[in-house]
Amino acid sequence: MQKRVTVPKNFAIIPDGNRRWSKSHRMSLANGYKQGIEKFVDFSIWLKRLGASTVTVWALSTENIENRSSIELSILYKLYKKASYDKKLIDLLNKNETKVVVIGNMRRLPSDVVLALKHLQNVTKKNAKFTINLLIAYGGRDDILYAAKRLLNDSINKKIKVINERILQSYMMTAGIPEPDIIIRTSGELRTSGFLPWQSSYSELYFSKKYWPDFGIDDLKAAISDFSSRQRRYGK
């Protein structure tokens, strides 16, 4: 009797290893990141076809912005702008009824990048079958600090009287996104590095040794199969 496979509804992905993949293939960093973006487009389509409803992807962290070179960041920004205005990509997203929601500290990004990302979000906003939550200029601690500052201000101004978990979460940049059923990280790194710390308390973690551009549909199915074999207890 074949084992029943349960496909998680809400995925999250830390697509790590683009730089090491580029080096191992003797390719430019720009080419490696381009391959990573193309792989994510394929990945989101696979998820939708398998029955998932959302994927939250960490595209760029606050730590990346602080610690990566200006040359590397410039490459990433150029690729994000190009993808955001790519008619072929936009048509594909709309064909697959996929909307993109951009989440992060937009003040940390160049204005032309913000404008491009807002364009991508706007031209896909009517789609309702699948959602890509694009975390860019995002850090988990930064998100909680952002919420705490807003809460403090509203508390001082008497706009709120009670603070609880639900209210705190509503003040975050990531307010409204579903808690991931599974978080996948590629490249062999065995940590989450501050990814969705509030929402990931009961997320199942899956680590792949493959660099992100090499992660294929069979690897995704292996992650889903592993998820299906686990018993989620939620503190019970």
Paired strand residues for 179? none
Tokens of 35: 């391959």
Among the listed residues 163, 217, 183, the one whose alpha carbon sits nearest the alpha carbon of residue 55:
183
Indicate if 181 belongs to the active site: no
16 is catalytic: yes
Residue 82's closest CA among 126, 30, 47, 134?
30
φ/ψ bin of 73: left (φ > 0), alpha (ψ from -120 to 50), beta (otherwise): alpha
DSSP bridge pairs for 101: 133
* Catalytic pick among 31, 64, 96, 105: 64
Cα–Cα dist 158/160, whole Å: 5
- Residue 193 has which token pair? 């590095």
* Active-site position among 16, 142, 143, 181: 16
Q: Which pair of tokens denotes residue 33?
A: 């990141």
Q: Catalytic residues, which ones?
A: 16, 64
